């Protein structure tokens, strides 16, 4: 996968990495879900 340069790209890369790790580690999956919910709330 490729990511953009800058803060947005770094943020997207971190989320992408967390999604990969969440496949194996349920605690990361839980925290990622919480993060996604917080983004939806604004």
Longest CA pairwise span in the chain (Å): 29
Question: What pLDDT is attached to residue 26?
Answer: 98
Asked whether residue 1 is domain-assigned, the answer is no
Asked whether residue 16 is domain-assigned, the answer is yes
Structural domain including 15 reads: 7-41
Question: What pLDDT is attached to residue 1?
Answer: 77
How many structural domains compose the chain?
1
What does pLDDT average to over the chain?
Answer: 94
Asked whether residue 2 is domain-assigned, the answer is no
| Residue for token pair 């604004």 | 42
Non-local CB neighbours of 33 within 8 Å, separated by 6+ positions: none
- Has this prediction a pTM greater than 0.85? no
Query: How do residues 15-35 score in pLDDT, each as one tens digit?
Result: 999 999 999 999 999 999 999
């Amino acid at each position: 996968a490729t990511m953009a340069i800058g803060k947005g790209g770094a943020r997207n890369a971190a989320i992408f990495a967390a999604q990969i790790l969440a496949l194996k580690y349920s605690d990361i999956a839980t925290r990622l879900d919480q993060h996604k919910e917080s983004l939806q709330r604004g």
